[in-house]
Chains A and B, each alone.
Chain A
Amino acid sequence: MSDGFLTGTSRLRAVLLVTKHDVGGMVRSNRMMIMGVVITFFILGSCYAVTDARFEGLGGFEADNPITLLFLATAFALWPSTLGVVLFGFDAVSRRRLTGELAIDLTQPMPRTDLSLAHLLAVWLTSLLPTFLSFLGGILIIHYRVGAYPTLSEFVVFFTATALLLWWYTCLQLFASSLARDLGSSVTLGVGTWLVFTTIWLVVSAFVASLAGVDITDIASAEFDTVNEKVDLFSPNGVYQLLLETLLPGDAQPRLADAWIWLAAIAWSVLPMSLFVHRMQRIKP
């Protein structure tokens, strides 16, 4: 150990221990008290609402099986979860940089790549915890209301897609946090990115569709849907929705080939993470 950095399992153990410390700190923080409650209410409430007999569905989906109901619930439920990532992660790097703690971290004999990974895992797991627990509760509500559970494969794909979405936002937010020199800029970058992907993306899709000569007054048309799906590959929320749509029956399936969707998912998993790790290699405390 004295001649170099830790190696092999010791290195992995160090990453996991630092992650555990950081998760412990964030789980006990005041913002978890608030966001945990908000995420739980949103997800449980959404699952309850979409199983109500008076619910008419979204986008013409027939809400007749558990995975379709979960899919519909995500339209409301993912807002607080992704916002949670932004709020848990906006100061993960920038605050430590401001307070001098980052300088202490960077002088330790731990490779910066490993430190970056520990930061990513900590914010990701912290936001994943209330989201997963709430969706498990949501599945129980759906079972109680419609008498069925999703299949195991649906369950795995749903939770994998949700975990990936939170991972993408984690990478983006930590990259923003490492770029910003103050907390205000960090939260502005994070919330700005979140707003673009959650609320403004339809405008981007419509703009691209109009450039392609598609009638944007009819967003239910097949032509608009095709363009929209392609544009969605460049948005984490879009890729997430496309991944979930692969579980849906019949004509609710995406028009794009599954390979493109999974390729986009891989790209979103790797590229923002690489940006963040690269940034951390060069960050000056």
Chain B
Amino acid sequence: MYGKVIKCGTVAGYGANMLRLSNVTYRHRDATPTFTNPFLQRIGPGIKGISIQLAPKKILGLVGPNGTGKTTLLKVMAGLLPPEDGHLVIDGARVVDSISTARLRHAVSFMPEQVGWPGPGTPRRVMSRLCAMRGEDNTNGMQMLDLVGLTQRVDDDLSTLSQGMRQRLSLATALLGSPEVLLLDEPLNGLDPVAQAAFRGLLRQLASNGASIVVSSHNLNELARFVDEVCILHMGRIVSIGTITEVERELGIAARLEVSGLGNNPSSAISAAINDVTISELSTKEGEDWRLEISLHDAEWDSANKAEIASAISDSAAKISHLAIVTSDLEHILEAATGLSVEEAGFAILSSGEAEK
């Protein structure tokens, strides 16, 4: 599966400003007609004041809880939703006319979340139709199906495809035309672990060929395995953007060392041995006498400082049974970014709409 590598964009073709959003705002409008005002609309959640510039050869992960604006941001990037405020720029030109729109359509590809593919039809017919829309040869469509491992199913009815197969078909449609920017909305949903690994490998290959890739997910740990940078969204705004380490440092939630063991609690010994650490006691698990979470103030974890910790614990006559670096999950990051608990942050999203005539 995913045996071949296609060229996705050319590095030489990228400008410094390939795709850029400048202070873009878009808010959904839901029709809420009443007897006295059948045209009443309610402004729903969306994105606000987003400025972002995609870089070639990079995979950017969009992270945030449900309803925070990830899909909306991707659709604005794809040109499917027109910005209310701000503008979309491709190759230095605002997307305002048919020429810049056509450029956007050729350069940017979008894979929606969980496309139904209800049929009737077959993967071959789906790709053939899209090739017709793009004025491309059908063989390109078949190559994409081959690339995502659907060669054996090209003539099967769409209704017989599993969710994972449908995801692969969606990915094949997004890869058509060798886009320079690939926007993927929750692409790993429905894929089995083997397919996920292959998918991650494929994305890395596409990025190394010059493509700029944006992947949305609510699962930071999943994204952390293959993205170069993450963009944390909360209530339609970018809370933080950068590598995961940069984001954690910016939010003051750098990686922590979790250590547990038997014997006396070694907290005081660790504090005495190493400066600038914060030690929190965690609830113990079965067979443990103590469990600690240790954070460094102005440094990153490496072999040397981990060895120092281990040595301090040994000197205090305690025994280590478990020692591991713990990265922040989305809950930690959101709590740090918003100052709210996860529950509060989630409910705040739901109440972010306001009525408008």
Contact = CB atoms under 8 A, between A and B. Distances in A.
Interface in B25-81: 75, 78-81
A99 to B, nearest CB: 3
B102 interface: yes
Interface stretch (A108-116, A210-218, A246-254): A108-116
Nearest to A18: B132
A29 B120 CA distance: 7
Contacts of B129: 17-18, 21-22
Interface string A1-38: 11111100010011001100110110011000000000
A105 B132 CA distance: 11
A1 B121 CA distance: 28
A111 B108 CA distance: 15
B81 A284 contact: yes
Interface in A67-104: 95, 98-101, 103-104
Contacts of A4: 98-99, 102-103
Nearest to A29: B120
A106 interface: yes
A110 B134 CA distance: 6
B102 A101 contact: no
A186 to B, nearest CB: 15
Given A21-B125, A95-B118, A109-B102, A104 B134 contact: no
A107 interface: yes
A4 B135 CA distance: 12
A285 interface: yes
Nearest to A2: B106
B226 interface: no
A114 to B, nearest CB: 8
B75 A103 contact: yes
Given A25-B120, A104-B174, A284-B81, 13 more contacts: A3-B103, A4-B103, A14-B132, A18-B133, A22-B129, A25-B121, A100-B112, A100-B170, A103-B110, A107-B78, A107-B109, A110-B134, A285-B112
B115 interface: yes
B80 A5 contact: no
A21 B78 contact: no
B105 A107 contact: yes
A99 B117 contact: yes
Contacts of A115: 133
Interface residues of B, number: 36
Interface in B110-136: 110-118, 120-121, 125, 128-130, 132-135
Interface of B: 75, 78-81, 98-99, 102-103, 105-106, 108-118, 120-121, 125, 128-130, 132-135, 170, 173-174, 177
Nearest to B29: A284
Contacts, number: 93
Size class of the A contact interface (CB-based, 8 Å): 20 to 34
B110 A104 contact: yes
10 smallest A-B Cβ distances: which pairs? A99-B116, A17-B132, A109-B105, A100-B115, A100-B112, A4-B102, A21-B129, A108-B133, A110-B133, A103-B112
Contacts of B130: 104, 108
B81 A6 contact: no
B99 to A, nearest CB: 6
Contacts of A109: 102, 105-106, 133-135, 177
A22 B110 CA distance: 22
Given A3-B103, A5-B102, A21-B129, A101 B134 contact: no
Interface string A189-229: 00000000000000000000000000000000000000000
B173 A104 contact: yes
A214 B90 CA distance: 64
A14 B81 CA distance: 24
Contacts of B78: 103, 107
B144 to A, nearest CB: 13
Contacts of B133: 14, 18, 105, 108-110, 115
A25 to B, nearest CB: 6
Nearest to A28: B120
Contacts of A10: 135
Contacts of A21: 125, 128-129, 132
